[in-house]
Amino acid sequence: MASVLVVEDDPFVRSALIRHLTDAAHTVRSVGTALEALREVAHLRFDVVILDLGLPDLDGSEALKMLRGITDVPVIIATARDDETEIVRLLNAGADDYLTKPFSVEHLSARMAAVLRRSRAGAGDLPPEAVLRVGGLTVDPLRRQAELDGVRLDLTRREFDLLTFLATRPGVVVPRKELLAEVWQQSYGDDQTIDVHLSWLRRKLGETAARPRYLHTLRGVGVKLEPPGGELPR
């Protein structure tokens, strides 16, 4: 069971979502505007937010950026926009997943389950004392904090999960299929999802794909995390 906030201005769609989620034993609250959504997440804790983009007071993509300013709650975008550039922009803005309307309740349930598994995984799989160090990079899964050369990194939940997974395998090339399965909890998916998050993570590590320091991509194979110079602790 999860606590879900539905942000949808269409009363028919909203009613259908509420009915489905309630039947699935989730606790549901719903609002019809972006400002109401911001007030809800500022005062209440949710496990996941389903966010429509076509809101009457504020475009959903702008609402997403504002949500990310106050919470790291998983957000699933519900949108009629299927443009690839738009989808990449939403992922860059902090969306955890997206659904293109119209979608089935079964599809929604599957995406919600995957997002909830990701959000509940991670720190609990490692012992409390497990602080990961790769060169000047330090990752604390229990506190969900990461630092680079003593400076704390401002990471989204997904960026942190990706970095943590790679940091547990320093110097090892992790196949993209494994990243999708372990970080995104998906058996299949678009490589674009991985590329977007890697690009965002690189920027925060102060590097680029052309001039990598920690994150190295082997085209057609996978990704590895290793310190500058490639010297790993023995």
Convert the pLDDT of each residue in 130-153 to its tens digit: 788 999 999 988 778 899 999 999
pLDDT value at 220 more than 80:
no
State the virtual CA torsion across 186, 195, 161, 5 in degrees, nearest 10. Answer: -70
Distance CA 127, CA 142 (A): 8
Q: Looking at residue 188, what is its pLDDT? A: 61
User: What pLDDT band is residue 123 in, cutting at 50, 70 and 90?
Assistant: very low
Residue 36, helix vs strand vs coil: helix
**Residue 204 — pLDDT band, cuts 50, 70, 90?**
very high
pLDDT in tens, 62-76: 888 888 877 878 899
| Global pTM value | 0.58
The DSSP letter of residue 181 is H
Give the domains, in start order, of the chain with CATH numbers: 1-119 (3.40.50.2300), 130-223 (1.10.10.10)
Report d(CA 234, CA 227) in Å as an integer.
13
Q: For residue 134, what are the β-bridge partners?
A: 137
